[in-house]
Structure 1
Amino acid sequence: MAKYIGPIVCLLIMIMDVVAGILGIEAEIAQNKVKHLRVWIFECRDPSYQAFKLGLAAAVLLALAHTIANLLGGCVCIWSKEELHNASANKQLAAASLILSWIILVVGFSLLIIGAMANSKSRKSCGISHHRFLSIGGILCFIHGLFSVSYYVSAIATVQDQHKMNPHHPHPHPHSQGGGHA
């Protein structure tokens, strides 16, 4: 049973990120349906409660997918140049995917929250236009899914490689006991 967890985790992460991306794009569509007056980069518009709910849901799903990938993937870190040069390809891929997934999480989550909060007020608001924040955040959710799955798969492969190299050492990752993962 343990060898089937990897593909299920990958599928779960991708589904959550795809749904988050769709919700972000739907939030942008809902935001664009409300009345607004625009002059250059400034606009006055009514908030869209639907866009607020969808944007917030997208941000929560993005954060949850990231948390699952990082908790179940474990910690594969490279702390020095020497360690980077001596690391396996799986470990290098895991470290690069981890860094990129964190960057995409921060940017995508920020955009989704800014877009959602722009729609949270119960009164008409005027200010700098927040167009495309929700849709760009939604698109970043799709990209985040790719890097999160890449991190999870390469982190599991790194742990399995380390276990093969040193089979008598206690195994640090609970999911890789049963053999081949994703």
Structure 2
Amino acid sequence: MSNNKNVGVAICLLIMAMDVTAGILGIEADISQNKVKHLKVWIFECRDPSIKAFKLGVAAAVLLTFAHVIANLLGGCVCMSSKAELQRASANRQLAVASLIFAWITMVVGFSMLIIGIMANSKSRKSCGLSHNRVLSIGGILCFIHGLFTIAYYVSAAAAAKEEQHLHAGHV
């Protein structure tokens, strides 16, 4: 039993480390992007791309994706087929479902922000367009929030699975 707990703690630490690192990389990408020369008029901006911001943004997006995939694969499935089933479910199962929904939302929005920042810094982007200020930082901050939701999901899904195991063991 202690071994399972250690594995769970290691998985949580891995997920959190990946999300925190992705967040830091996203913020660092934004800082690098702001160091290149640019001209801004209202919401339009002409900016040279930053190769460093591009690379940091890609690394952040990859880490965010890996953290999400690991949490979802190892957390298991806590699917609900109806609202009534959700209302009858245990608190751990309800928390797992809510955490999973919020993890997906923060992943999609954070990943989208990082991709917008990456595209703005790709080598072929030397044109002018709408300002993309702070999208890499926002994507980075969402990586931190994603880490909290994925940890909550993993822990509550594991607890719900353990509850169901005990419930089924009692009926056999």
Answer yes or no: same fold by TM over 0.5. yes
Instruction: Measure, in 1, the Cα distance between the counterparts of 2:94 and 2:58.
Output: 33
Any stretches of 5+ residues in structure 2 without a counterpart? none
Counterpart of 1:32 (choices 31, 34, 38) is 34
Match of 2:71 in 1: 69
Instruction: Measure, in 2, the Cα distance between the counterparts of 1:140 and 1:34.
Output: 24
* Moved segments of 4+, more than 4 Å: none
- The two structures, once aligned, show a CA RMSD in angstroms of 1.4
Instruction: Measure, in 2, the Cα distance between the counterparts of 1:100 and 1:120.
Output: 30
TM-score (norm 2): 0.95
TM-score (norm 1): 0.90
Match of 1:98 in 2: 100
Instruction: Measure, in 2, the Cα distance between the counterparts of 1:112 and 1:16.
Output: 15
Identical aligned residues as a percent? 71
Instruction: Measure, in 2, the Cα distance between the counterparts of 1:87 and 1:13.
Output: 26
How many matched pairs? 170
Any stretches of 5+ residues in structure 1 without a counterpart? 170-182
Instruction: Measure, in 1, the Cα distance between the counterparts of 2:156 and 2:4.
Output: 17
Higher helix fraction (1 or 2):
2
Instruction: Measure, in 1, the Cα distance between the counterparts of 2:143 and 2:110.
Output: 7
Match of 1:152 in 2: 154
Alpha carbons 1:47, 1:125 under 8 Å: kept: no
1:98-148: CA deviation from partner (whole Å, max 9, x where unpaired): 000000000000000110111003452210011110000000000000000
Alpha carbons 1:90, 1:154 under 8 Å: kept: yes
Instruction: Measure, in 1, the Cα distance between the counterparts of 2:125 and 2:96.
Output: 46
Instruction: Measure, in 2, the Cα distance between the counterparts of 1:123 and 1:152.
Output: 39
Matches within 5 A, 1:1-182: 1-122=3-124, 124-167=126-169
- The aligned amino acid for 2:114 is L
